[in-house]
Amino acid sequence: MSALTAESPATDASPRAETAPPILSVNNIEVIYDHVILVLKGVSLSVPRGGIVAILGANGAGKTTTLKAISNLLHAERGEVTKGSIEFDGARIEKLSPNELVKRGCIQVLEGRHCFGHLTIEENLLTGAFTRRDGSAAIKRDLEKVYAYFPRLKERRTSMAGYTSGGEQQMCAVGRALMSKPKMILLDEPSMGLAPQIVEEIFEIVQNLNSKEGVSFLLAEQNTNMALRYATYGYILETGRVVMDGDAKMLRENEDVKEFYLGVSGADRRSFRQVKSYKRRKRWLA
Ligand code: ATP
């Protein structure tokens, strides 16, 4: 699938090298908006059970579309999956409603947080439990658990969400997803518009939820640096195609990823001619 995989074999950390079946497997999907706009072209990826996997790429690469294809949210935008298949927890899910998916344990936290601004933080969190049928005592227990992971939310629980900070709203959106007792969270651009310290705080919580609660994560991120510090595996999307994938450490050390996505280069400042060859090095795009 990718230049990287062809040049340097995937390590044992690769989702494909896992022996247990992945919790999520996206197989060669194509997505078309408005019947004509082909946005995803044969995207395949997998998330191991209990893993944190990142989808990386610039603006418009197709990260959000991939997440929405998985959680079946494309119809609202006149998009549809026209090819390929998606499996979650051992079953095909392309025809399930987002509601049904949440009941099965797969939930998406949309880009831009999307809290109910006129509800308090606590009311927002409780809306996350609406698909549950295990009673108010269990829901209350989980609310306390969310507060244990997000002490800031406990402090702000009676505040209207609309008046809280961007970081608190992002925490509220993740906390609300947790209230559905998910096996997996699809997290779209958690770092967007947030100060680096808050981004770090949110990623730390994601890591904690992953290791302590066993929640698997698929993160869509433009912040490659941060995502590759917390994910174990990454897929790089460009114009709707996976152009590279690999173990996070390998991606962090890859020269092309450093130059194109991490803004780091070991070389001196480049001349125009060198810039041309630099662009040619983007051969994985072919
Ligand atoms: P961003 O970080 O900006 O959200 P992204 O990688 O998540 O970028 P997408 O939002 O998935 O990218 O968009 C991928 C492509 O699909 C873009 O070219 C975008 O213009 C196009 N697109 C997204 N939504 C629609 C839509 N509802 N109708 C038509 N085209 C769309």
pLDDT at 19: 72
Q: Which of 181, 203, 222 is the last residue of a domain?
A: 181
122 contacts: CB under 8 Å, gap ≥ 6: 143, 157, 158
pLDDT at 9: 38
Same-domain status, 156 and 240 = no
Same-domain status, 170 and 189 = no
Q: What is the dihedral of CA 33, 92, 209, 74, to 10 degrees?
A: 10
Q: How far is CA 111 from CA 95, 154, 191, 260, 263, in A?
A: 23, 23, 9, 23, 24
For ligand 1, whether the C-beta of 39 sits within 6 Å is: yes
| pLDDT band, residue 112 (cuts 50/70/90) | confident
CA 243 – CA 228 distance, rounded (Å): 16
> Residue 269: what are its φ and ψ, rounded to 5°?
-55, 140
Same-domain status, 146 and 39 = no
| pLDDT band, residue 272 (cuts 50/70/90) | very low
| pLDDT band, residue 195 (cuts 50/70/90) | confident
Same-domain status, 98 and 209 = yes
| pLDDT band, residue 114 (cuts 50/70/90) | confident
pLDDT at 286: 44
| pLDDT band, residue 1 (cuts 50/70/90) | very low
Residue corresponding to tokens 């480049």 = 270
- Domain of 196, CATH number, reads 3.40.50.300
Please tell me which residue, 49 or 136, carries the higher pLDDT value: 49
Name the closest-CA residue to atom 17, ligand 1.
Answer: 60
CA 111 – CA 109 distance, rounded (Å): 7
In a domain, 110, yes or no: no
pLDDT digits (tens, 9 = 90+) for 206-258: 999 999 999 999 999 999 989 999 999 999 999 999 999 999 999 998 888 88
CB 100 within 8 A of CB 178: no
pLDDT at 161: 93
Mean pLDDT of the chain: 86
Same-domain status, 260 and 280 = yes
> Residue 69: what are its φ and ψ, rounded to 5°?
-65, -40
Statement: residue 265 has pLDDT above 70: no
Triad 200, 201, 207: Cα angle to 5°: 85
Pocket test for ligand 1, best of 26, 29, 31, 33 (most atoms within 8 A of CB): 33
The fraction of the chain above a pLDDT of 70, given in percent, is: 85
- How much distance in Å is there from the Cα of 44 to the middle of ligand 1? 18
Triad 31, 227, 52: Cα angle to 5°: 75
CB 28 within 8 A of CB 43: yes
Question: What is the average per-residue pLDDT within 103-121?
Answer: 89
Same-domain status, 17 and 31 = yes
In a domain, 66, yes or no: yes
For ligand 1, whether the C-beta of 181 sits within 6 Å is: no
Domain residue limits at 150: 115-181
CB 68 within 8 A of CB 77: yes
Q: Which of 57, 30, 33, 25 is nearest to 42 (CA)?
A: 30
Q: Which of 142, 165, 181 is the last residue of a domain?
A: 181
Same-domain status, 75 and 158 = no
Same-domain status, 170 and 195 = no
pLDDT digits (tens, 9 = 90+) for 32-75: 999 999 999 999 999 999 999 999 998 899 999 999 999 999 99
pLDDT at 279: 52
Ligand 1 atom having least distance to the Cα of 66: 11
pLDDT at 146: 93
**Residue 253: how many CA atoms within 13 Å on its side-chain side?**
6
| pLDDT band, residue 269 (cuts 50/70/90) | very low
Same-domain status, 88 and 121 = no
Question: What is the average per-residue pLDDT within 131-138?
Answer: 86
Q: How many domains, in total, are found in the chain?
A: 2
Same-domain status, 89 and 191 = yes
The reported pTM is 0.85
Helix axes 136-149, 196-213, angle to 10 degrees: 130
In a domain, 12, yes or no: yes
Least-confidence region, from 156-165, 172-181, 271-280: 271-280
Ligand 1 atom having least distance to the Cα of 78: 27
